[in-house]
Amino acid sequence: MKTKVAQPDPVDPDLFRDSVNEAVAAFATDVSYAVAIARAAVTIIRKRAIWQARREIRAAEALAHAECKNTPAFECHAESACGTGDCKFARGELAQLRVPAGAGTTTRPQQRSIGAYRIDDAATALANRRT
């Protein structure tokens, strides 16, 4: 038996017409206001992209750390953050991020590896790649 999914009621565009016209008039009369709103929108979009990239890289990093810990000891020469770029356990799009990781506080699971790193450079590169 199929159940029907309730569809939302259509929105009457006339309800917003006056508000939209007022906004257009405000943008046309105050250029600095329009620029400020546009700048705020661009800033918010950029921050969302960076946070999404960080979240994805942290998830890939966690998977790479888990795999690395379960792998017999090897000498890690990866310059990028774990789970990205030249990391042995990088997958998909993140494997194409060839960004050297800067000094940071995250340590690599293998004892014989390059020092601690941070993911910020990889997150910025991933966000830039997607814009």
> pLDDT tens digits, residue range 45-95?
999 999 999 999 999 999 999 999 999 989 888 899 999 999 999 999 999
pLDDT surpasses 60 at 124: yes
pLDDT surpasses 80 at 5: no
**Residue 8 burial class via C-beta count within 10 angstroms: exposed 0-12, middle 13-18, buried 19 and up:** exposed
- pLDDT category at 1 given cuts 50, 70, 90 is low
> Between the CA of residue 78 and those of 55, 85, 95, 119, 126, what are the distances in Å?
21, 8, 12, 13, 18
**Domain coordinates in residue numbering, the chain:** 17-130
Compute the distance between CA of residue 59 and CA of residue 54 in angstroms, rounded to an integer: 9
- pLDDT category at 37 given cuts 50, 70, 90 is confident
Q: Is the pTM of this model over 0.85?
A: no
Compute the distance between CA of residue 35 and CA of residue 39 in angstroms, rounded to an integer: 6
% residues pLDDT > 90 (the chain): 54
Mean of the per-residue pLDDT values of the chain: 89
Encode 66-95: b = buried (16+ Cβ within 10 Å), e = exposed: ebbeeeeeeebebebbbbbbebebbeeebb
Compute the distance between CA of residue 73 and CA of residue 110 in angstroms, rounded to an integer: 7
* Residue range 6-33: mean pLDDT, rounded: 82
64, 70, 71, 73: CA torsion to nearest 10: 110
